[in-house]
Structure 1
Amino acid sequence: MIISPPFLPDAGLALPTGTNPDPMMDAVDQFECAHGIYPIAFDRRWHGGVHLQPDTKDKVYAIADGEVVAYRVCQQAIDDGASHTGFVLLKHTTETGDGRTLTFYSLYMHLLPLAEYQQHSANANEMPEFLRMPTGAPAAQVPPAVSGGGKKVRRKDVLGWLGKYEGMPHLHFEIFTTPAGFDAYFRHTQLGNETPTPSEGTDWWGHAYFVIPAGSNFLRLPTGTNADNKLHGIKFEPGQAGSNALPLLVETYFSKGAKYTNVWSVAQDGTRTLLTPQPVEEKDYEYDLYKHATALYATCPSDGYELLRFGRILSATPTLAADACVTWMKVTWAANQVGYIDINDSNIHKFSDADFLSLMGWRKVSDANTPFDSDGLCDVHALKKLLADAAPHEVPAVAGERPEAHKTNVLSAYVKGNAQVRQQLRGFICNAPSEWDSTHNEQRYAKLLDEGGSYHGNQQGYSDFLKYLKEVQFWDKTGLPAGQKLWFFHPLAFIRHFRKCGWLSKNELSQIYSESKYTVLGKAGEEYREKYRPAINGTFRKYGIGTQVRGSHFFGQIAVESYYMMVVRETSVAISAAVRNNHASIMPELNGYLNSPPAIVAYFHNYEHNIGLGNSSVGDGVKFRGRGFKQLTGRYNYSEYWVFRGWLDSSSYNHAWFSSHPPADGPVINNPELVGNDAYSCVDTAGFFCTRYPVEKAADGGISEAASRAVSRIVNPYDVNSPPLRWTETQNAYRILGDKS
């Protein structure tokens, strides 16, 4: 799932750091206005979105690929130029994991009218063509909304420019799901479960979370360490032994090679106390994962690698025996007390951001504790208390300020000045009707006339409010059921959370490489992309490649290494034209490497007896030629990968394990062809290479030609001609994966 905010300031393009893992969202968070509080307005009316106000007039971008549901393009403002009523509503369908489809909607309201483009230096030609003409007569005060008619937009397409409402420049921005869409996705998570139970499934992404029960024992050092504080050659810094009085919630994540850990103690009432004032950094932890996995989990470093990264094995076919899965984690178990605990213990429950834990502030507000009564006004105790609490924080009234405007300022000042309240509201996922649905308007808003209501004693004001509301509402053009409650999210919290996912949908992967690349073989690119997409997603998750920067470098390199995912066996211009034209070198070699076309066998004699590659036997050149996305090459590298996967005992490191007999005489894993024939292994070898060698570290240098060349020197130091193409393809991939507009 690729998603970004509706504004893309340059400040957000900074490289992430440990304490600032998402600079773009941090920058856009600053645009949230003091007015337009989510999820409630000052008068207890539902407010389904937030108001965003960037520093200057700015473009509004689509947050993800989507289908246009409805829109309104205005020629001019209303209310003597004070308000803009243009909007775009999009529907997004994407993926967040193997078999996990998420459907949601995004709304962009108060877009600049066409008549004001010139004075704000806005260029309508930057928008899709359908947004360049008003949706009704130019003279109309509020032109009609129209249905989207199946129109599509891409992420980062310009939907308009920042407009205003009642003289206040801002974008009203919403994200919601339908009841069916909400249930289809979130019933598989821990949302709403106050006592979450870990799943054995593999729906895992983002940060990891470990719930450690009270009374757990922490050790000064892992069991088995020697006098030098080393375990299998890996050194551990001593901590303090002891036991935690309260349950602990441990959060871990990675950024630029380091591991960061936050720890909270959890009281009986669910309140948390942070034990780590700053995230605890373990420098180079991620860069050292391969080294530690091969040392600590010799029988299957691949499984051990996942244990060290996730705290559990996500692969479908784990190899490690149960007693070999001990995983030591350094945890702050009390104030200034740090010790080691085996997080593989079944009593320690393991989760990720995919679970939407209540312990991390996610609260499903529905059914018995719905925040809205039958009139559609907020009635939940916690939110009413919030409004009452705001009263002592009264702010001075401004001369000529309307009463309702003053109440707005009181509530806004309270929420903006209370970080804890603001954070709580961000975690609310609320079930309520849309304010853009005109169904039962009179019944829903009647209480606004009651004593204490915004329009008490002001029947004309109330009538004008309903008239205006009816003019701007547009639900009849959406095709969505009327009178139905929806599920609303704080939109910036939603985007920040799902940006951690990194799972590429079919549509998103199709944009990485131009379809024209595939015409050389006369096949559609989809055939190749869909063959490898599940493996790409699994590999990105396993090796931490799914960031914008690392993912861009990955695709930039395999564009050359495997010719846009089409050539997963090494070929060469030295191979005859006849062989190339028949594509024999890139078809599955069903008869094995020993029956390869003569031209191929002849070419790979260049690899014979290459000591650097570990080729020691006759025929090793063609037998261990490059295969997979990265072109794994040589007996030595094949053996290292086989050891990593647990297929070859590390004691057989003389590399004689691969039989010289045809693969039909032995198990399938004896056959180096597995790297070319098995889609997962084909991609996993590339991830293995990235973690085995310092590719990740070089890629973390950012999106620059220098960083691309550094990665290229590691991936293929002998290819001096392709670095410019690798850099070009890295930039092309970043246009899709990155936030730069």
Structure 2
Amino acid sequence: MDLADEGEQFDPTYPIGVDRRWHGGCHIASRSQNEAVRAVADGEVVAYRVCQHLDGPDGAVKDSDLGFVLLRHETETGENCKLRFYSLYMHLRHLGGYGGNCNPKDLPEWLRMPSGIESGDGKKVSRKDVLGWIGQCNGRMYLHFEIFMTRADFEAYFSGTQLGRANPSTPASTDYWGDSYYVIPAGLPILAQPSGTVKDKLNGIEFPPLKGTTATARKLYIEVKFRSGQKLTRVWRDDGEGQRTLLTATPILEADYEYSMYARACALYPACPSDGYELLRFGRILSRPETLPAGNRATWFRVAFDQDKQGYVDIHNAGIQKLSDADFPSFMGWEKVSEGAGPFARDGLCDIDLLKNLLKDKNPGHNPYAGSSANKAMRYYVQMGEGVREKLRGMVCEMPSEWDGSNKEARYQKLKEPGEGDLAGFQRFMAFVGKAQFWDKTGLPSTTTEKLWFFHPLAFIRHFRKCGWLSEHEFEQIFPTTYTQKSGGKVTSAANALPAKLREKYRPILNRFIRKHLLAQSSKRIAHFLGQGAEESRTLTWMDERRSESSCNTLYGGKLGNDLPGDGYRFRGRGMKQLTGKYNYAEFWVYKGWIFRTSFSQSWWSRPKSVRPAIAEPDRLIHDDALTIETAAWYWEATPNSGGPHLRSTINATVDAAPVDEKSVRTVTVTINGGHNGLENRIHHTMRIYLIVGDGPK
């Protein structure tokens, strides 16, 4: 994504063309002229064209590629949150221009021969599939890239978000992903230390004294990011009239906060660390049912309330709005713009003064073209104005498609006005535009009567990549119907097949806990977590250890806290990661708030007369589908030492510090398994899954 951003061209930009008309996409150049263009997601082909030669206006130089692929994508961003969008790849290179590493064998067969404008007819592509190579337009090498949604699809998805709402509120939905945002109203207390702090500690957790106590004079906007173990907080003060002041030139950094979040939750919320972890992660409890008592939910976050002044605020306070990237909050730059209701007039031309007003730009600076050329003035402002391009990335715009021939005359009628050019040139231009347009082959409604909603495509991808929700197709690749394993250096198919119904039962649950425990922060974390789970559970088909009672008692008796006869079988391996032993069961029961740590003796297994933990119904770990998965996510976060209550560093810390390779899988395997049992297979699954969820090519 960084390379794509580097290659983005700014003449024209999104959503304003060089002639001040709507421009629904961005232009991306490449360091290499033989750069492959790949599908951004699994999708269905709507329409395409493969050109044999360059094209251009009649009687002019043939210097433009008119090959394209239009894809429709359907996916999810959460439970019952379906997203349908379209991606367009325009100016794909003509077949006669292939050279270097442009190998037609890398393309789907239907893109290897020249064609006219063709309908997709049900053709499918997968994420990362090669669609062609960057071509040219008007002699310049670049890809024109768009992402848009139809009106019906847009309203179906975004009506449940905060997009376009000047005063967002905490959503009722539990669809919470990406980074967190909090709106703190004026007048809320900010303290030098949390209430109840003794000697700079609250329940053993350090809260160093800061510069409170005060009350917020103005509304504050808080952004919280978790990155590689760190917690990063930025704060803006609302100065009215759409103006904000950043109070944290350098984000507030709390090192290793994420890696220690489980221990923090256990200390601050002993009545139910699971709910407490969600308060620290989301600012509210999303799981149902809630266990933590209402009076024990204070959640102290470190924030800035003025330049160089910080204090602690209770984020759980009901007056604070709690949002995430799933909500598209306006104060983070998301803005809805419709033709005729903003800077774009009904004729599709953008007015520079109205644009400045929309961007709340009070000091746009000197523009050398003001009063002379409207087009040049707009281009100068967009390219040179401070922060303008970044603000334009957040615009979600309702406009017609430039590829729809039914609005061609209305779109370009201004070109016939005096001073815009000669009639013959206009006619040649319009004929060439007609060659490029293809909308009538898509089966989509005319955008003259039903406009589309466009996004800056790179901003769209960056944003939704934070989601981390694995789709049905991705999940089928990760846990295929036919189980494969590796033994003796060979990959073979095993007998235990995974029914699609069983896979779908666990998919939303796994997605929820991947989000909760910040595994979605990186594809490395997801690959390791699911790779280990694939071996432990035989790809979700083995959630209960398949050993006899006598063999479990022989294998586990006297170990892992199993100090009574029959404990080996009673606390045998259950769940996706095969949680094993009374000690681990007791730790999970404490985490869920089902028993209190004070209700049993520490090291009970070595003290005959001590009080043991009362663990009722251990089989609930396989009878409750959510618990079957949650035990795996909990163990990944907590990594309890089987010899006692000491907690090792989290697995996420190990994964973040290393590439996905055999060495890192070996290290994680020891933490999960206590040894190297099934190591070859764990390596096989982890590397296989990383190819699916990772960032690199297939």
Q: Does residue 158 of structure 1 match 2:130?
A: yes
One-letter amino acid matched to 2:48: Y
Using the TM superposition, name which of 730-739 and 99-108 deviates more. Answer: 730-739
Counterpart of 1:499 in structure 2 is 465
Q: Does residue 556 of structure 1 match 2:531?
A: yes
> 1:653-706 deviations in whole A, cap 9, x for unaligned?
34999xxxxxxxxxx982111112211111111110111022111111231222
Counterpart of 2:610 in structure 1 is none
Separation (CA, whole Å) in 2 of partners of 1:126 and 1:417: 40
Separation (CA, whole Å) in 1 of partners of 2:465 and 2:386: 23
Separation (CA, whole Å) in 1 of partners of 2:331 and 2:357: 22
Counterpart of 1:740 in structure 2 is 696
Counterpart of 2:577 in structure 1 is 630
Separation (CA, whole Å) in 2 of partners of 1:288 and 1:655: 22
Q: 1:38 aligns with which of 2, 11, 14?
A: 14
Deviation at 1:435, TM superposition (A): 0.3
- Contact persistence 1:568–1:628 (CA under 8 A): yes
Q: How many residues align?
A: 657
Counterpart of 1:206 in structure 2 is 178
**C-alpha distance 41-440 of structure 1, shift in aligned 2 (>3 A):** same
SS of corresponding position for 2:222: strand
Counterpart of 1:680 in structure 2 is 626
Separation (CA, whole Å) in 1 of partners of 2:437 and 2:172: 45
Counterpart of 2:55 in structure 1 is 78
> 1:174-225 deviations in whole A, cap 9, x for unaligned?
0000000000000000111101121222011111001111222211111111
Separation (CA, whole Å) in 2 of partners of 1:480 and 1:101: 19
Q: Where does 1:652-667 land on structure 2 (aligned, <5 Å)?
A: 652-654=599-601
Deviation at 1:378, TM superposition (A): 3.4
Counterpart of 2:412 in structure 1 is 445
Q: 2:382 aligns with which of 395, 407, 415?
A: 415
> 1:450-492 deviations in whole A, cap 9, x for unaligned?
246xxx2411111111111111100011010113200000111
**C-alpha distance 380-532 of structure 1, shift in aligned 2 (>3 A):** farther
Deviation at 1:443, TM superposition (A): 2.5
Taking structure 1 as the reference length, the TM-score comes to 0.85
Separation (CA, whole Å) in 2 of partners of 1:121 and 1:287: 43
Q: 1:714 aligns with which of 662, 671, 676?
A: 671
Separation (CA, whole Å) in 2 of partners of 1:549 and 1:343: 30
- Contact persistence 1:377–1:445 (CA under 8 A): no
Deviation at 1:34, TM superposition (A): 2.4
Using the TM superposition, name which of 209-218 and 360-369 deviates more. Answer: 360-369
- Contact persistence 1:85–1:109 (CA under 8 A): yes
Deviation at 1:392, TM superposition (A): 2.3
Measured on the aligned residues, the alpha-carbon RMSD in Å equals 2.4
Counterpart of 1:696 in structure 2 is 652
> 1:697-735 deviations in whole A, cap 9, x for unaligned?
1111231222211111111123x2422321221111111
Separation (CA, whole Å) in 2 of partners of 1:618 and 1:655: 20
Deviation at 1:92, TM superposition (A): 0.4
- Contact persistence 1:61–1:157 (CA under 8 A): yes
Q: Does residue 28 of structure 1 match 2:8?
A: no
Q: 2:204 aligns with which of 233, 242, 252?
A: 233
- Contact persistence 2:338–2:398 (CA under 8 A): yes
SS of corresponding position for 1:516: coil
Counterpart of 2:489 in structure 1 is none
Counterpart of 2:444 in structure 1 is 480
- Contact persistence 2:339–2:348 (CA under 8 A): no
Separation (CA, whole Å) in 1 of partners of 2:339 and 2:381: 28
One-letter amino acid matched to 1:68: V
Separation (CA, whole Å) in 1 of partners of 2:8 and 2:573: 52
Counterpart of 1:116 in structure 2 is 97
Counterpart of 1:101 in structure 2 is 82
Deviation at 1:411, TM superposition (A): 4.7
Q: Where does 1:638-649 land on structure 2 (aligned, <5 Å)?
A: 638-649=585-596
- Contact persistence 2:399–2:452 (CA under 8 A): yes
Q: 1:514 aligns with which of 454, 461, 480?
A: 480
SS of corresponding position for 1:439: helix
SS of corresponding position for 1:195: coil
- Contact persistence 1:361–1:424 (CA under 8 A): yes
- Contact persistence 2:303–2:311 (CA under 8 A): yes
**C-alpha distance 534-385 of structure 1, shift in aligned 2 (>3 A):** closer
Identity value in percent: 46
**C-alpha distance 471-515 of structure 1, shift in aligned 2 (>3 A):** same
Structure 2, unpaired ranges of 5+? 485-492, 605-613, 640-649
Q: 1:131 aligns with which of 111, 120, 123?
A: 111
Separation (CA, whole Å) in 2 of partners of 1:184 and 1:474: 26
- Contact persistence 1:390–1:410 (CA under 8 A): no
Q: Where does 1:578-617 land on structure 2 (aligned, <5 Å)?
A: 600-611=548-559, 613-617=560-564
- Contact persistence 1:502–1:541 (CA under 8 A): yes
Taking structure 2 as the reference length, the TM-score comes to 0.90
- Contact persistence 2:669–2:679 (CA under 8 A): yes
SS of corresponding position for 1:43: coil
Separation (CA, whole Å) in 2 of partners of 1:53 and 1:717: 49
SS of corresponding position for 2:424: helix
- Contact persistence 2:483–2:498 (CA under 8 A): no
Counterpart of 2:643 in structure 1 is none
